[in-house]
Structures are given as C-alpha cells and as structure tokens.
Amino acid sequence: MKKYRETHKEEIKGYNQKNKEKKRLQHKAWTKENPDYYKEYEKTPKRKEYLKKYRQENKEMLREKNKEYERKPKRKEYHKEYYQENIEKYKKLNKEWEKNNKDKRVSYVNQSHRKHPEKLKARRMAQYKIPFKSACEICGDTNNLQRHHWNYDKPLMVNTLCSFCHNVQHQKNIPLLTI
C-alpha cells in the first residue's frame, strides 16, 4: 500500500484535488451525524498535548491571527455589545483590583512613562490645553475622568473617558464607540 502511494503520488494528489469539495461536504455531513466524535477526540491526552505544543510553537502567529480576527466588524460589534451589557460588572471588578493593587498600578504607569516618553509628553500637553468634559464620553460616568489619546503623535486629539473605559480602550484597542 505504501509503495503504491509512493509510485502514484501525483495521481492521488490530482484525485484528491478533484474531489476536495465532495470530500469536504461528506466530512461535514458525517461530523454532523457524529457530533460527539470530535468532542471526545479533543479531550484525549495525546490531542491536548499536541495542541499545547502547537500553541507554544506558534505563539506569535496565533496572536497575530487573533488580533486580525478581533478587528473584524462583527467581532467589534460583539465586543461593544458585550461590554455595554456588562459594564457595571467590569467596573466593580476593576475598582476592586485597583484597591488591592495600588503599588502595582503606580509602577505600571511609571514603567510606561520610562518606556514611552512620547506618551508622557502628549499627556502633559493635553493636561494644560484641553479641559475635561463633564462626563465620560462612553458611559457617562462623572468620576475618575482621564484624557484618552487616540494617537500620541497628535497630543491635542483627546477624549474624556472614565478610568475604566480608558483602560478598556487601551487593553483591547477596540473602538467601543465612535466618539
């Protein structure tokens, strides 16, 4: 059998190519009829081990792929909706984290300023020239207001956001609302 495969390599390749769509549909139908097969298969230790290794070896590629995926309009819409539905929950969690990690937070800010002096410069410029609006432009909160830079090369292009919405904007880099 192995020998046959080797001597007829090109033929097999051509056959597979020709029947690709047919095979795909057959496979799809089969999977539909046997929904548990792959679920169980994904749980086997061998498969788990393989996936773990694959993820480790392709970290960068997968990260890029995920970023691309998250930028799709449908995903953006999903994030926006999810965020707005759960905004109170996230705010509470965030407040708790900040309360318990005061030192960490200060050191993050300092680290960021050391690494990106242009951010500090932009922040200072905006501080003097652009007054806060009365409320967060995403959620309407009036506490913990901050200036959000969309682009540090344009230090005066800022919006007023509360600390929570500001964090979300930077972490996910997903425009939640077009202001």
Residues that bind Zn ion (CB under 5 A): 136, 138-139, 141, 162, 165
- The least distance separating Zn ion from the CB of residue 25, rounded to whole angstroms, comes to 48
- Whether residue 126 contacts residue 155, with contact meaning beta carbons closer than 8 Å, is answered with yes
- The least distance separating Zn ion from the CB of residue 54, rounded to whole angstroms, comes to 39
- The type of residue at 151 is N
- The least distance separating Zn ion from the CB of residue 140, rounded to whole angstroms, comes to 7
- The least distance separating Zn ion from the CB of residue 164, rounded to whole angstroms, comes to 5
Taking the least distance from each CB to Zn ion, the nearer of 50 and 97 is 97
Taking the least distance from each CB to Zn ion, the nearer of 123 and 133 is 133
State how far Cα 100 lies from the chain centre.
25
Taking the least distance from each CB to Zn ion, the nearer of 122 and 139 is 139
Taking the least distance from each CB to Zn ion, the nearer of 34 and 84 is 84
Half-sphere exposure of 175 (CA within 13 A, CB side): 10
Taking the least distance from each CB to Zn ion, the nearer of 126 and 139 is 139
Residue linked to tokens 């929570």 = 164
- The least distance separating Zn ion from the CB of residue 147, rounded to whole angstroms, comes to 13
